[in-house]
Amino acid sequence: QVQLVESGGGLVQTGGSLRLSCAASRRTIGTFAMGWFRQAPGKDREFVAYITSGGGMTSYTDSVKGRFTISRDNAKNLAYLQMNSLKPEDTAIYYCAARDYYGSTSLRDYRYWGQGTQVTVSS
């Protein structure tokens, strides 16, 4: 069993920054790819970013490229999503997820999920 806990969400103004954190199980952090997804009210959950188990490869959805950075610190059992230049369109619940294979943009490929953290960007 893999347990994931997100934190760091909140309310920010347009153009502001937030850093989300995801605390993962000690035994899996170094072998699992990690992903970030988000879900706005009334919309499907969508891919945001992923990072491979060793941190050597990352991928981002087009709408966040150049603004968001995914990273991980396996020694601390943590994954991060640094979000800069935030826009109202980024408002959503953000979820971290884990899978025991290579990174994927499909939410169906992720077996483990956190509870989510709310990010609200005011206009």
Q: What is the pLDDT of residues 30-49, one digit of tens each?
A: 789 999 999 999 999 999 99
79 near 70, Cβ under 8 Å? yes
Q: What is the pLDDT of residues 49-69, one digit of tens each?
A: 999 998 889 999 999 999 999
Give the separation between CA 104 and CA 88, rounded to whole angstroms.
Answer: 26
Residue 27: pLDDT over 70: no
Instruction: Give the model's confidence band at 2: pLDDT under 50 very low, under 70 low, under 90 confident, else very high.
Output: confident
Q: Write down the pLDDT at residue 26.
A: 67
Please give the structure tokens belonging to residue 13: 């103004």
25 near 117, Cβ under 8 Å? no
62: helix, coil or strand?
A: helix
Please give the structure tokens belonging to residue 34: 């990690």
